[in-house]
Structure 1
Amino acid sequence: MRPITETGDAWLYLNAVCERPTAAMWDFVDAFGPIEAAERIKANDTENFRDVAAQTAARAGKVDPTALRALGEQYDARFLCPANPDWPAEAFSALDHPRQYGLDHSGVEAGAALPLAPFGLWVRGGPDLPNFAAARTASIVGTRDLTSYGRVVASELAEACAGEDIAVISGGALGVDIAAHLGALSADGITTAVLACGVDKLYPSANEQSLRRVAASGGAISEYPPGTGVTRYRFLDRNRIIAALGSVTVVVEAAMRSGALSTARWANAMNRSVFAVPGPIHSRASAGCNNLLGMYALPLASTSEIGEVVSTLGFERSAEPNPYDVGAGKFTRRPGSPADWMTEEQSRVFEALRGDCMQDSTKIAWESGVPESRVKRHLGTLKRFGFAVKTGGRWQLPTRRDQHQQSLPLNENGSLF
């Protein structure tokens, strides 16, 4: 294989040689630059970088950028990388926050196993690929097992986006995803599908013809090289890209353990606004949405509201990111809870808080079983990010008004965006 001398080829190699662009991989690339980093990996010159070696050894001598480009061209696909002027750097910047902040609040290295910003994207078609740095975009996601209610809402919501010049981002899957894509297309809007496999495979096959139309609109994109198949964890990893590319994320229908809730968690962790469509309390397909509304999501009660909640100035960002690790290894038993992104100790302190009375740190330490010295540190973290309120040295859960004031971005006139 020829030496890698071009920046684009280096990013393509890095994109293909590892399964996940983790903090260790990004640190390695930042230290040496993409070309030298690629050459070092190819030559197995990574003995002092154990994490990098472990992530790249299986593919180091097998990735051929020239062959991958040729394969992509067979499917009208091109490779977009951070060296390209139209790379959505701002959209992906929030995915680098775990690395920027170094450690999470438990002292564990943040992002060690998390996928961060991709090293590149393969784009199939996409003559109208949105300018993600400036375009108005909305990620619309939900269950594969949608009801007639969910199908109508997803379609109408995407049509409303088209009418407001808002590009629709979704995952091309059965159910809400494809209903949203088709709704946007029916109104001559732009829509982009983020795939969990190579762009040579328009998965699922039942949606192949529809995805060809999507590719001809805003493109079918993937961080995975052509020839890559589908796995469960790739669906979960690609959800971060769906969340990153959307100015807002809207969950139309989702069961309590729906994969769409993963996208919502990523969006919330990146401080993007999350909206959920309320559903009947007896509907399993709406249980996840209704649960989100009790957590951090805002209700979207009418499809016509979408034009008001998507910023006209690209992405809205707060000054600091949400610190919670969306890939935390230990989860609470309640899907969709904010504690899903906390360490076990943080979640125990969080769940010891009361909404009907205030408690001191000694009482919370007793209830949670966490030493008081660490309880105080965790309470400070919870307060900083809106999950606890302190008054006169005592603590309690925030009220709905507190949460509303914490999460809504207001402009100088006091209105949304």
Structure 2
Amino acid sequence: MAVVKSFNGFHYSLELLKNKSFGQLVAPPYDIISERDKKRLIEDPDNIVHITLGKNEKGYNEAAQVLKNWIKQGKIQRDPSPSLYIYEQEYTINSQKERKKRTGFVGLVRLEEFGKKIIMPHEKTMPKYSLDRLELLRATNSNLEQIFGIYNDSTGRIDAILEVNKTSDNFLFQFEDWQGTVHTIWKLSDQNAINQIRLLMNPRTIIIADGHHRYETSLMYRQEMREKLGDPMEPIPADYVMMTLINIKNPGLLALPTHRLIHGVPENQVKGFFNKAKKYFEVNLFANEKEFYEYFQNAPLMTIGVYSKVEEIWGTVTLKNPEIMDQVMGTENVNRYIDTCILHELIMKELLGIDEEMQKNKDYVDYLRGTKDVVQVAKEENKYQVVFIMKPTPMDDVEKSVLHSQRMPQKSTYFYPKVWSGLIIRLLED
């Protein structure tokens, strides 16, 4: 089912790394880089953001020219042998002392339409971002950043192969990012090990954990290239895309919540929120933030935390009866009981009057990942009216959603840590 293969990856040259640390050259994925981070990253003329951020005042072709120049100048080199790349991330979360390790591999995966149920999305996307990535792909003809996919291998055989091949002979790079995550890359060129991984991946399906826009972009680009070439029978480079693949059973795989911060909504719609919520929810109110979090940590299922900044009230709302969501979304929708669906469909639409288009619009809703203190952000920014504090979406719910070919609301999951850019590049013309 899932077709995986090795490739001749491009990466920063060992010659360049004699004078620069690898950490100077790499960056988070394009879509989570803040303006502050961007200023820091672009200071180095060889940082990957000069390509991955795409359009500048000279358009997308400028990014393509930068890539060509770096290859010509020897700043980026091509691996001589087809390889898979082992990618380990060692990290801590928030103030916890325990360090976790998440290991996967970077390879090429044959593109499949979602209808085939071989590679499947789990969240809704926003089309305008896909178009931006399509323009960059057309200009560079390269996979600059990896799509992050997860697969289910309860035997752990693929993980075992990766662990055995984390050797000094295979070592390529290591760096620590500004959040303290240590990223390590090994090159796996042993054909026997590669074939074992390919065979073990073949009967499996892949869930897109992160990079839905990039995957949809690659599908569009494949269609364009096949039409241009007269739809040849043999495979073409655009039939494949670069992905980082991680076992859903890997102990280091972590999904965090994404909180919602509401602003710009007429005040009469947000005032008295807890009274409105009693129509569908059991409401608990708390004297302060400390009391709220003490309760929220072990709150019942289908509970969402709420901080009404306009009224300075802390509380939680717990759905009274799951049948309410049966009526709102229909019993055929397997996502109807997850917290983000309850929030988007019942609270935001029904109680606050924030429809689907407004939910996508940053004029009304900001999304904040679970690694940041959402309450602190809300207190520092005067514009926020109500904050919804979420719990992580369980991985079982993600799998169930995908198996039924249904998508969760946007930003239902936040897989941590992110797969960084600038580690490996794949040229489609190669």
Whether TM exceeds 0.5 here: the answer is no
With the length of structure 1 as denominator, give the TM-score of the two structures: 0.26
Q: Which protein has the bigger helix share? A: 1
Higher RCO (CA 8 Å, separation ≥ 6 residues):
2
Looking at secondary structure, tell me which structure has more strand per residue.
Answer: 2
Structure index of larger Rg: 2
